Amino acid sequence: MTADDFKKMAALEAVKLVRPDMVLGLGTGSTAAHFVAALGEKTRDGLYVTAVPTSEDTARKAAAAGIEIIEPDETTIIDLAVDGTDEVDPRKQLIKGGGGALLREKIIASAAKRFVVIADASKKVAELGAFALPVEIDRFSFPLTVRAVREALAALGYQNPDVRLRAGPAGPAFLSDGGNFILDCKLTRIGDAAALDRALGAIPGVVETGLFIGIADEVILAGRGGIERIG
């Protein structure tokens, strides 16, 4: 089986948690896309739910799957959010944002009554940091924000971190759905993820970090050994 088969397996497990009339938060990425496809099948079989997508891409996929989309400003309730991840550690701390949707993903995941992470088992790590941490920043005077990010990282003891402005497919820089830049910060090992999140989040110009600390309620991992739950 491939990593994509395991992503689908985790998504099919998560779709079992959906109940009629729920307001769902739909994540972004290839694992979340499997969840959207499985949810679409269920709605075609008669299940009624509504959903808030975390990206334009997911909104398109959900609409194509026949899922009723509600605009984020039309609800104050998310019953269940389901999303993928780039890394997850044993404390359910995550690095997200590989697809550039971290801000909307974090808004929805934080607001949800229950946030379930789905992933293939390769995303499980002992310590976060091998995956470059995405940090969404405002475009205004962004070199000043980049400098402040480097200084904050140095103050926390990260030696010469590789901080790069993410390149876009159609231009010099990637733009998030909200029109912001993304910095990818290769830190190798993140000791205190909560402290790092606080330090970066305190910088004017930083919109959000890809560290999801204390947000995930349950993680569903699929791999050769079957389904593993961290809950």
Question: Which CB, 53 or 84, lies closer to ligand 5RP?
Answer: 84
Pick 48 or 65: Cβ nearer ligand 5RP: 65
Contact with ligand 5RP (CB under 6 A) among 24, 61, 67, 86: 86
Contact 79, 51 (CB under 8 A): no
- Which region among 18-26, 36-44, 80-88, 139-147 touches ligand 5RP (by CB under 6 A)? 80-88
Asked if residue 28 binds ligand 5RP (CB under 6 A), the reply is yes
Which of 42, 118, 126, 119 lies closest to 80, judged by CA? 118
Considering only residues 27, 53, 205, 223, which one is a binding residue for ligand 5RP as defined by CB under 6 A?
27
Check if 105 is active-site.
Answer: yes
- Positions 138 through 197 that interact with ligand 5RP (CB under 6 A): none
**Contact status, residue 63 vs residue 120, Cβ threshold 8 Å:** no
Q: Is 85 in the site for ligand 5RP (CB under 6 A)?
A: yes
Q: Cα separation of 121 and 220, whole Å?
A: 9
In the set 105, 127, 208, 228, the catalytic residue is: 105
Is 84 a binding residue for ligand 5RP by CB under 6 A? The answer is yes
Report the Cα 11 to chain-centroid distance in Å: 15
Q: Please give the backbone phi and psi of residue 33, each rounded to the nearest 5 degrees, phi first.
A: -65, -35
Contact 200, 206 (CB under 8 A): yes
Measured from the CB of residue 30, what is the shortest distance to ligand 5RP in angstroms?
3
Tokens 């009339």 correspond to 21
Residue 55, CA atoms < 13 Å, CB-side half-sphere: 23
Q: Which residues contribute to the site for ligand 5RP (CB under 6 A)?
A: 27-32, 83-86, 96-102, 105
Enzyme catalytic residues: 105
